[in-house]
Structure 1
Amino acid sequence: MRKKYLSISEFGKICNVNRKTLIYYHNAGVFSPEKIGENGYRYYNINQYETFNILKAFRELGVSIDEIKEYLRDRNPKEYLNILDKEKERVIEKLKILDDIKQKIESKIEITEKGIEEEKNNEPYLKEFEEEELYIKNVKNSEDMEEFIQFINYCSEKNIDRGYSIGTTLDVEELENEDFLNIDKMYLKTDKGNYKKEKGIYACINHKGPYEETGRSYKKLLDFIKKNNYTIDSCSYEDSLLDFFAVKDEQDYLTRISIKIK
């Protein structure tokens, strides 16, 4: 003869939850055992399995215990559809958030792979870039960290951040004056930009070491441009390839410096 009632442990195994969860639902008045023995033990009917699966699905979708209790008090097909529609919207929103996280991770992978590929290349080189969309902002004082904090917060609030590191630029005048730490603008690569980095041939160098020492790489790159009779045609762009999260030592940071030439 088939056993009609299951102990709390047996029912928990079938539903893939622990007994503490079942006790919690019982005490919350959401899902109770069909029978409680004289010894105080909880017993469940196998037919309660499908009901519990619905409850479990609601909880996985983020429906609160209070919402479930309210629904159970006056449940009917229409209310069931209402709660399902509501949770469908929550799932759609969660999927958007997960897709955004996925995109940021993919960007980090792309950057780090470039860093590993370019790590040993410290000589100037030419590279053709396609047009890139950037969100860019002027920097009033390159030593004022508050400007960077405000920029990061703004990009996060407006969903501009796509996982790329913050880049910085030096204008042509600063390059000519060898003022290599006086940042002109900061930017993020995004699909919600206010500026387009031009397509074209760029003279590049991969600076290895702290940001404060980029001057030596700038000088090397500018010498390369001059010796090959190129003309500077844009500000410089500084893109982090390997940073704090990728390497332990600041001396191993890798920053790509690129300047459009003609």
Structure 2
Amino acid sequence: MDKSSLLTTGQMAKIHGINKRTLMYYDDIGLFSPVIKDEKGFRYYTYEQCLTLESILAWRELDLSIESIKNYNKNHSPEAYLELVEKKEKETLQKINHLKQIRSLLISKASAIRNSLGLQLNTINIEMYEEEYLLSSPVLNNDSYISIFSSVADTLKNLTDKSIYFHSYGSIISVDKLANGSKHYERYYVKLPRKIKHDNLYVKPAGTYLQIYWTGNWSTLPDAYNKIFLYAKDNKLKFADYSYEESIIDHTTANSANEYVTKILIRLKT
């Protein structure tokens, strides 16, 4: 075969925008081989092979395994092609939905941080809230770090996006216990963008809430509650049941624990 009508490894790589080492690797593993490999080890390809290489690169772009591509190239047919395409279409849609969920979570978390930066911190307000959906841990029996992190980890196992970094998270504590000086958290949760069917779904009811964005180390939260209870007493407010703490700015976004921002919501009796 006249080599002048063939493409060298460098020319083939340049046409397809890949590294020469990729072509050598594909040859070594038997995925895509040159039409000629001379005694000096130089590889030569036909122009017709460009389409084959493009199909391989396209399959790799879709994360199809080397072995699957090999099998398809050995036994390709319209039926085999359709089977692969339908499988990859389903997987691609799943990835798109997964990325959309992550985007939604990141937008929500960024919005919460942005809002907190524009608020007057450590100031009490009364706000109306719609129903919210939380994925809650079981009721905790103690506040040991092992218990807390095990609880959070078990809760995240139920999520598609298991990294807590993507989620707004927080804790739930009884107002009665707070009034008696206890700081024993009953549940930990991650916020959900929508209602789901799940045994651990916790619905935070709609209603009128006392709200404060508290800045400072988590160890200063008792000071926040002292301020809250004094405000409630002065304004003759009665609390319904639980306090919901949501971490807005934590160690992943603040340089110092003194810059943490925790959102506290307590539903009021009507």
Q: Tell me the TM-score normalised to structure 1 length.
A: 0.89
- Once the 2 structures are TM-superposed, how far is the Cα of residue 200 of structure 1 from its aligned partner? 1.7
- Once the 2 structures are TM-superposed, how far is the Cα of residue 85 of structure 1 from its aligned partner? 2.4
Match of 2:67 in 1: 66
Match of 1:148 in 2: 148
SS in structure 2 at match of 1:169: strand
Match of 2:130 in 1: 130
Contact 1:139–1:147 (Cα < 8 Å) also in 2: no
- Once the 2 structures are TM-superposed, how far is the Cα of residue 16 of structure 1 from its aligned partner? 0.8
- Once the 2 structures are TM-superposed, how far is the Cα of residue 38 of structure 1 from its aligned partner? 4.6
Distance 1:160 1:9 in 2: 43
Contact 1:204–1:257 (Cα < 8 Å) also in 2: yes
Find out whether 1:251 has 2:254 as its counterpart: no
* Percent of aligned pairs sharing the same letter: 28
AA matched with 1:251: N
Match of 2:168 in 1: 165
Cα distance, 1:139–1:145 mapped onto 2, change above 3 Å: farther
Match of 1:239 in 2: 246
Distance 2:94 2:5 in 1: 42
Distance 1:37 1:114 in 2: 67
Cα distance, 1:206–1:260 mapped onto 2, change above 3 Å: same
AA matched with 2:65: S
Match of 2:104 in 1: 103
Distance 1:200 1:88 in 2: 43
AA matched with 1:23: M
Distance 1:83 1:110 in 2: 40
Q: What count of residue pairs does the alignment treat as equivalent?
A: 258
- Once the 2 structures are TM-superposed, how far is the Cα of residue 57 of structure 1 from its aligned partner? 0.9
- Once the 2 structures are TM-superposed, how far is the Cα of residue 254 of structure 1 from its aligned partner? 0.5
Match of 2:55 in 1: 54
Contact 2:155–2:189 (Cα < 8 Å) also in 1: no
Contact 1:112–1:246 (Cα < 8 Å) also in 2: no
Alignment of 1:168-179 (within 5 A): 168-179=171-182
Distance 1:73 1:49 in 2: 17
SS in structure 1 at match of 2:118: helix
Distance 1:73 1:40 in 2: 25
Distance 2:173 2:90 in 1: 45
Cα distance, 1:99–1:257 mapped onto 2, change above 3 Å: same
AA matched with 1:244: H
Contact 2:137–2:154 (Cα < 8 Å) also in 1: no
Distance 2:78 2:205 in 1: 58
Distance 1:211 1:113 in 2: 20
Mean CA deviation greater in 7-16 or 60-69 = 60-69
SS in structure 1 at match of 2:188: strand
Cα distance, 1:173–1:200 mapped onto 2, change above 3 Å: same
Distance 1:124 1:171 in 2: 19
AA matched with 1:165: S
Gaps of 5+ in 2: none
Contact 1:125–1:204 (Cα < 8 Å) also in 2: yes
- Which consecutive segments of 4 or more residues in structure 1 shift more than 6 A? none
- Once the 2 structures are TM-superposed, how far is the Cα of residue 87 of structure 1 from its aligned partner? 2.3
Distance 1:13 1:182 in 2: 64
Cα distance, 1:160–1:111 mapped onto 2, change above 3 Å: farther
Match of 1:183 in 2: 185
After superposition, give the CA deviation of every residue in 1:37-57 in whole Å (9 maximum; x if it has no partner). 453311222232221110111
After superposition, give the CA deviation of every residue in 1:75-106 in whole Å (9 maximum; x if it has no partner). 22222222222322332332233233223322
Distance 1:197 1:79 in 2: 50
Distance 1:90 1:258 in 2: 40
Distance 1:54 1:31 in 2: 11
After superposition, give the CA deviation of every residue in 1:188-229 in whole Å (9 maximum; x if it has no partner). 221336232122221122221121210111111111111111
